[in-house]
Amino acid sequence: MAAAILYDDVIAGAVFIGDLGTAATGTMPLSNLADPQPRVRTRWAGGVASIYIDLGAEKVVACLALISTNLEASADVQWRFGNDAGFSFNEYDTGAVFAVTSAAANGNVILVNPTSASGRYMLIDIASIGSGVLDIGRIVAGPLWRLRYAPAYGMEEGRQMLDRRDRNELTGAEFPVKAVMNPRTTRFNLPLITTAEATAEHRAILDTLGATGDALWVPNDALSQSELNRRCIWGGVAQPGSAAVAARSNFIAHSRGFTMTERG
Amino acid sequence: MENFGPANSYPPTSLPGSFAAVQGITVLRMASAGYATSSADDPADTAYSPRLYGDISVSQSAVDAFGIGGRVAMGIAEFEVANADSALNNLIAYGTADGRNAVIRVVPVTALQASNYGSSLGSATLAFRGVVQRVDGGAKQRARITITDMSERLATPLQVRKYAGTGGVEGDASLTGAPHPVALGDVFNVTPVFLGNVELGDGALPTYAVNYRAVTGISAVRMRGVEQASTGSAPTVGQYKPWLSSGMFQLGSSADGVVSCDVEAGAGDYSATTGGLIRSLIQDLGPQLADADIQIEAFELMDTDIPGAVGWYRGAEEITAAAAVDEILAGSGAVLCGGRAGTVRTFDPFAAGDAQFALASGTILDLEPVSKPPGISPLPHKVAVDWARNWTPLTDMAAVVTTDRRRLTSPASGPVRVTSPGITTRVLQQRELRLPGLFTAESGASDRAARIAAYFEASPRMFRVTTDRYLGRIEAGDLGAIAYPAYGLDAGVGVVVLAWEELLAGRRLVLTVSTVPWVTIPPLVTGGDGLDYFILDTDVVA
């Protein structure tokens, strides 16, 4: 088990993303998958999608995330990945798994390869008949930076409460207002980032994402599917204007604290 | 005819479809959070991109117009949208969205995971329908959009019919481009538009126009105040002949001074009341709104609230429909504005009626007193309303005129004054509120003065009330009842809404209300102390 971060979305650089036997709705096309706003979704009217992705070259991938979907818990998802464009021989195949996602997980489905694999082609089959239509906001995939050392004790997980609750000072009557969503948030410290990690993955995160890009935080890659969906957070890893630095906290390692809030 | 067909398969006058359909109109859809319509919605499967920053505040205020009448503009306070992708640059640079329709809807979130949040577009609450006033660029790659109500459409010339200046009934060259006159209701001593000597069937005679359409009567024509005699045949010296179907009359001789006349014009298909005249101004003239563009029941209520007959006249001078409406509203203290549903409506802030909403202490988030507008503070001890306006006060009157000399030289009859004994006794500063009434009869003016004086006599107070109830429903002019355990409101009071502001996502409605003495429902209960209580809150009644 390891905590991990996906920061290099290989699907953003894919040379082809298309349907294989299914068809996205013309008014909510496949190109919506590239919109960084997760709520700008792609729709398949039949509730079934078969998404074919050509990365253009062989790449290392360890995780696939369906972000902001309307999948029900019993929806079937299968992710195949490899160098065979016909998917007869795959480097990784999840088989048909239940999505086990929910509104509390923002409809996210996080599929993690316990190791990692190299390949060029992906096929993502989704059957979500119950909801009538199938909507997906983003599909991201890429290698995982599996942290060599775990986060420190004191990791915080919860939600940023955007709900309001005003009170009449005279009568005491309360007037709560529910926000559209209370995004999930987490705060953790990585006390031991090796020098190799600091000069490779951590540096790459800063270079690739800046404060505008999003990353996927996986607190534990051995979690069950439902817990992965609930606890992984897709959002920014740095705040505009603030310094995002790994501090040389001791002789052999760096450290850094992260605060991530889900992008809804 | 989008495609070419065989020769002669289409008549030569056919237009391509692109000529008949509006081209290049794009509907921009944006939301505070990404939304997608369902397959059963219209439009189906359509995404609303998340572009809005912060909340949208829809507001309307009749406070400044209170007591003196006028139009109320609704402003949606410049809400900001993301424009980092330059999607709105053309709207900013070329004003391509200005004046176009805008609709704001609110959907409840019942299923967060669903693309439509569990609420179909069809079930969305209409928060506001109006027109885009402008789109501006803003800092941080944002754009600001200002939406205003449908009364913006009144900012158009009242009269589209103009004189060609080619002679005859088109007037001489000096009238080129001048608008035809407009007479509504009964108007006294107006200045007709001289068209020149025109042949209408009785020889070339001095011809005057009093209206752009037929009138029901031209009861008097004066030359320097001297009344001319009406005749049905060719007029001679001292006579005039009305041409009612053309809205004109001819004199039997050239005028030796100011010519004026009394006209009974009616208001087309509408009553010659404040509400009817406004309908004629905005439906027959100016923006020529259809019935669907106005809130007809509001105008019908206006006939009940302000039933007195009024008259209005405009010669060959340009005026906008908005300015014309303002003149009529100022005469009675009524208010015209755009409604939430995108229709133009009107209301009388002094109207009596049933409470349309009730707010008790458990539903009030905040309540605080606010100052009365300067127009009614300190409270006037007298209300004066003019009547029988003289549209051409004479300064050069013939000596032979012995009757009605004062009426012909004064701007109006009256005014009718109603004095409040209570305010006269209590308030040191004695003020008079005077309305430039357009009532044709003294009774109309006196009824109006008495109504407004009764409002002042009841010592009105104003409050700002914040609640989360009645969202999307309250309009300016609505009557209600409020009870609150402070500011002497324990027993409940009747109020009229003068302004409102609604925060759509914040789910807050802020009302600015004035107490009024004539709200009839909820029913009154007389308590043991002899005071009247509204049944609003069981604690209060107990």
Report helix, strand or coil for B222. strand
Is A107 in CB contact (< 8 Å) with chain B? yes
Question: Across the interface, do A181 and B33 touch by the CB < 8 Å criterion?
Answer: yes
Q: Are residues A162 and A111 in the same domain?
A: no
Domain for residue A101, yes or no? Answer: yes
- More confident call, B436 vs B14: B436
- Where is the domain boundary, A146, A169, A186? A146
Of residues A25, A27, A168, nearest to B365 (C-beta): A168
Cβ atoms of A149 and A192 within 8 Å: the answer is: yes
Considering only CB atoms, which chain A residues are within 8 Å of B40?
A: none
Q: How many residues does chain B have?
A: 542
- State the total domains in chain A: 2
Q: What ipTM score was computed for the predicted complex, to two decimals?
A: 0.90
Asked if pLDDT for residue A182 goes beyond 90, the answer is: yes
Token representation of residue B19: 């000529």
Q: Please provide the average confidence, as pLDDT, over all residues in chain B.
A: 88
Query: What is the percent of chain B with per-residue pLDDT over 90, rounded to a whole number?
Result: 59
Cβ–Cβ of A173/B362 closer than 8 Å? yes
A132 and A23 within one domain = yes
Which of B36, B485, B506 is opposite residue A135, by nearest beta carbon?
A: B36
Does A142 lie in the same domain as A21? Answer: yes
Partner residue opposite B365 with nearest CB, options A25, A137, A166: A166
Residue A162 and residue A141 in one domain: no
Question: Residue B35: closest CA among chain A residues belongs to which residue?
Answer: A39
For residue B131, the model assigns a pLDDT of 86
pLDDT of residue B538: 39
Domain contains A229: yes
pLDDT tens figures, B15-34: 555 455 556 788 899 999 99
pLDDT at B293 over 80: yes
Q: Which residue has the tokens 């009730």?
A: B358
Last residue of a domain, one of A118, A146, A174: A146
Same domain, A170 and A70: no
B84-109 pLDDT tens trace:
989 899 899 998 888 888 899 999 89
Distance from C-alpha of B341 to C-alpha of B338, rounded to nearest angstrom: 8
* Same-domain pairing of A142 and A161: no
Q: State the residue for tokens 């944002």.
A: B142
pLDDT in the model for residue B542: 33
Task: Let me know whether A177 and A207 are in one domain.
Answer: yes
pLDDT at position A256 over 90: yes
Q: A175 and A224: one domain? A: yes
Give the tens place of pLDDT for each residue, B261-283. Answer: 999 998 888 899 999 999 999 99
CA atoms of B359 and A102, how far apart (whole Å) = 39
> A197 and A108 in one domain?
no
CB contact under 8 A, A175 and B38: no
DSSP H helical ranges for B224-382 = 274-279, 296-305, 321-330
Note whether A138 and A179 are same-domain residues.
no
Q: What share of chain A is helix, strand, coil (3-state, %, to 5)?
A: 15, 45, 45
CB A63 within 8 A of CB A218: yes
Digit-coded pLDDT (tens) for B57-86:
889 888 877 777 677 665 566 789 999 989
Residue B537 pLDDT: 41
Same domain, A11 and A134: yes
In a domain, A189, yes or no: yes
Interchain proximity B486–A170, CB inside 8 Å: yes
Whether A151 is covered by a domain: the verdict is no
pLDDT tens, residue by residue, B373-413: 887 888 899 999 999 999 999 998 898 888 888 889 998 88
Supply the pLDDT for residue B74. Answer: 59
Q: Is A171 on the interface with B (CB under 8 A)?
A: yes
* CATH number, residue A19: 2.60.120.260
Kindly list the residues from chain A whose CB atom is less than 8 angstroms away from the CB atom of residue B117. Answer: 180
Chosen for mutation from A31, A33, A37, A184 (greatest number of chain B CBs closer than 10 Å) is A37
Q: Is the pLDDT of residue A247 over 60?
A: yes
User: Of B333, B380, B362, B342, which is closest to residue B496 (Cα–Cα)?
Assistant: B333
Residue B541: band (very low, low, confident or very high) from pLDDT cuts 50, 70, 90: very low
pLDDT value of position B261: 97
Task: Say whether both A22 and A139 belong to one domain.
Answer: yes
Closest C-alpha to B470, from B368, B371, B356: B356
Before B108, cis peptide (omega within 30)?
A: no
Segment B202-206 shows an average pLDDT of 95
Q: Is A34 on the interface with B (CB under 8 A)?
A: no
Judge whether A106 lies within some domain. yes
What's the whole-number average pLDDT of chain A? 95
pLDDT at A191 exceeding the cut of 80: yes
What local confidence, expressed as pLDDT, does residue B521 receive? 59
Tens-digit pLDDT profile for residues B236-260:
999 999 999 999 999 999 998 999 9
Q: Which residues contact A163 (CB under 8 A, 6 or more apart)?
A: A176, A177, A178, A179, A182
Q: Is the pLDDT of residue A169 over 50?
A: yes
> Do residue A181 and residue B112 have CB atoms under 8 angstroms apart?
yes
Residue A141 domain boundaries: 4-146
> Residue for token digits 């042949």?
B199
Residue of A31, A42, A70, A164 for testing the chain B interface, max B β-carbons within 10 Å:
A70
Q: Is A66 a domain residue?
A: yes
Q: Which of A124, A146, A168 is the last residue of a domain?
A: A146
Kindly state whether residue A84 falls inside one of the protein's structural domains.
yes
B interface with A, Cβ–Cβ < 8 A, is 32-36, 38-39, 43-47, 49-50, 109, 111-115, 117, 361-366, 468, 485-486, 505-508
Supply φ then ψ for residue B49, to 5 degrees.
-75, 145
Q: In this structure, what token pair is assigned to residue B345?
A: 């409506």
Integer Cα distance of B407 and B429 in angstroms: 31
**Residue A161's pLDDT band (cuts 50, 70, 90):** very high
pLDDT tens-digit map of B308-342:
999 999 999 999 999 999 999 999 999 998 888 88
CB contact (8 A) between residue A106 and residue B111: no
Question: Contacts of residue A133 in chain B, CB cutoff 8 Å?
Answer: 38-39, 45, 115
Tell if the CB–CB gap between A178 and B109 is shorter than 8 Å.
yes
The verdict on residue A213 lying in a domain is yes
